[in-house]
Structure 1
Amino acid sequence: MTTTPIKELPAGRHRLTIDVDEREREFWVYVPTQAEQPEEGWPLVFVFHGGLSNAPTMARFCEMHEYADTAGFVTVFPNGTGRLPTMKTWNAGMCCGYAQREDVNDVHFVEQLLADIPQRVPVDPMRVYATGMSNGGMMAYLLGDKLAKHFAAIAPVGGTMGNPTCTPSRPVPLMHIHGTDDQFVRWEGGVGSRSKSKLDFHSVDHALQNWIAANQAQSTPTVEALPGEVKDGTSIERFTYAANGNNSAEVILLKVHGGGHTWPGKESRLDLLGATTHNLDANLAIWEFFQQHRLSR
């Protein structure tokens, strides 16, 4: 990922395509227009859309690229696959939809993006991260597991693990954000009352316990109630399972009491997704978490 860019992208939004496994795959790259490029290259954050959504919709949903414009990192919004342009999914284990049925190798897609993007924009290979919503959060989990050598940290939102276990090649710092009233990917696991897939999803606890073990983190968390300045029926608890010496990584849970299947801090236009907390800014929390972690050289 230290390749000299062959056609450097200017600041702004770029829709790009790449051929992977005999499919043309789309992805959107946002290069900051206001922040100054770091000497070692831009940090790179992959943002994965939810199931039956797509990359442009995800950009509007979370606005991570707008936050990145001043915070100073490149955002990549990859597109999943599907028969309709606005309804894409990721093959993230047990979920979801077209991508799973067609056995699309989305891990290989991301591997190809990891090789391609540094040829277009200067990237710091020590600071590559993944986040995503719902099925996209499951994709972030899968990448942390299968491509641990590339990702310095992951931060799934509203999506649990799609596989029964994980065996990353190195500890990968993890922050999971999830609402207790999520009716699509339920906190307790199982079939959500508003789930389109009707899949029996794993619980939040299943994901945490697997990653606490894989990261060799401390099994007992420190618990902190975050200040709630907005009276919107939600509150935030932070559970930190600290790193346990060398060859270990922390696991953090931000439990959104009363929160639905939403991106904290960004109002959803769909009431069926449930309540959005304004006592947490997911973009800020994710980036602050990512800034604390980088791969070692």
Structure 2
Amino acid sequence: MTVRSGGHDRTYIRYVPQGLATGEPAPLVVDFPAYSPASLEESFSGFTKPDQAGKVKADEVGAVVVTPEPVNGAGALLTWNFVGTPGWTDDQLFVTDLLDHVEATACIDPDRVLAMGFAIGAVFASITACEQTERFAALATVSGLYSPAGCQPTEALPVLSFHGTGDRFIPFDGSVGSGAAGLGLSPETTSGLIFMASREGARASSAAWADHGGCRTQPEVEPVVDGVTREVWSDCEVASTLELYVIEGGEHTWPGSNGMAAFEGLLGPVSNDIVANDVIWDFFERATS
């Protein structure tokens, strides 16, 4: 589908769940890709695709999902403009126009909008949720939660993130990843976007968002399953908590994804210890209840 923004025709994929009741406002998931095409992000996150049990999460929960197409950069892998690169499109304006367009053309509950993303898409989702907090009810990221310098969200925002300790692209500890060399990115994309995403570690980014959310305690660490722990910041100014799932040895993948097998040689094997989409939706339901 197409929406006009900043003098450009911008495209996105819209998924309407099967069985959606006519006239009943639906929750909206905005799934930000790391790189184009948006269809690849659909496969990676798997929110609109059959999972390993054959179920489609969007159908199961009755959520409309939009996956916007990034257009900036050089070569086949295009991305988002979150560093103010001259000559690139204004992607914050695009998100505003996209949300306005979707809410005007579909029956959406504006109080139940989730920003979600993978890798650089997670970085952009983080920045967007900070700059447009009033448009989102929660933020969920995989391999790329980011806390923008000077971020001052207008409202406290529930935040959920997943990160593997073996991620070679956006490392858990915040160092610059070596895996980007295998992507064939342009130098400006590699040096600008990957560095920006990885200069803070997963815990530091989570702690910064916890501070934004007014959380007054250190996180409690809870085992989930073997190899996965959950760090929970509570006593916050929002009803739900801020949570970080740590996947021991996990690489640059979406936990439980059924659509990343062709990329395991590049990104690493998918962790199936947990299913991120199930966790995300449970978190989102608690955040908006």
TM-score, normalised relative to structure 1 = 0.83
* Pairing 1:184–2:169 present: yes
Q: CA RMSD in A?
A: 2.1
Identical amino acids, percent of aligned pairs: 28
Q: Which of 256, 260, 284 matches 1:290? A: 284
TM-aligned CA deviation for residue 72 of structure 1: 0.8
Q: Is the 8 A contact 2:114 2:139 kept in 1?
A: yes
Q: Tell me if structure 2 keeps the 8 A contact 1:35–1:71.
A: no
Equivalent of residue 253 in structure 1, options 244, 262, 265? 244
Pair 220,31 (structure 1): closer, same or farther in 2 beyond 3 Å: same
Report deviation, 1:141.
0.5
Aligned: 1:279 with 2:263: no
Distance 2:208 2:23 in 1: 35
- Is the CA contact 1:166–1:210 (under 8 Å) kept in the aligned structure 2? no
Q: Distance in 2 between matches of 1:192 and 1:219?
A: 31
2: CA distance, partners of 1:154 / 1:223? 20
Q: How much has 1:90 moved relative to structure 2?
A: 1.1
Q: Distance in 2 between matches of 1:45 and 1:256?
A: 24
* Bigger proportion of residues as helix: 2
1:49 to 13, 33, 41: 33
On the 8 A contact 2:116/2:140 being kept in 1, the answer is: yes
User: Structure 1 262/247 Cα, relative in aligned 2: closer, same or farther at 3 Å?
Assistant: closer
Corresponding residue of 2:41: 58
Match in the other structure for 1:75: 65
Moved over 4 A (4+): 83-86, 246-249
State the distance in 1 between where 2:210 and 2:100 align: 30
Instruction: Give the drift of 1:19.
Output: 1.5
Does the 8 Å CA contact 1:217/1:248 hold for their aligned counterparts?
A: no
Unaligned runs of 5+ in 2: 49-55, 182-189
Shift of 1:160: 3.1
State which of 208, 217, 220 in structure 1 corresponds to 2:218.
220
**Unpaired runs of 5+ in structure 1?**
1-15, 94-98, 229-234
2:80 aligns with one of 75, 90, 100: 90
Instruction: Provide the C-alpha distance between the structure 2 equivalents of 1:212 and 1:49, rounded to a whole number of angstroms.
Output: 24
State the alpha-carbon separation in 1 of the partners of residues 147 and 284 from structure 2: 22
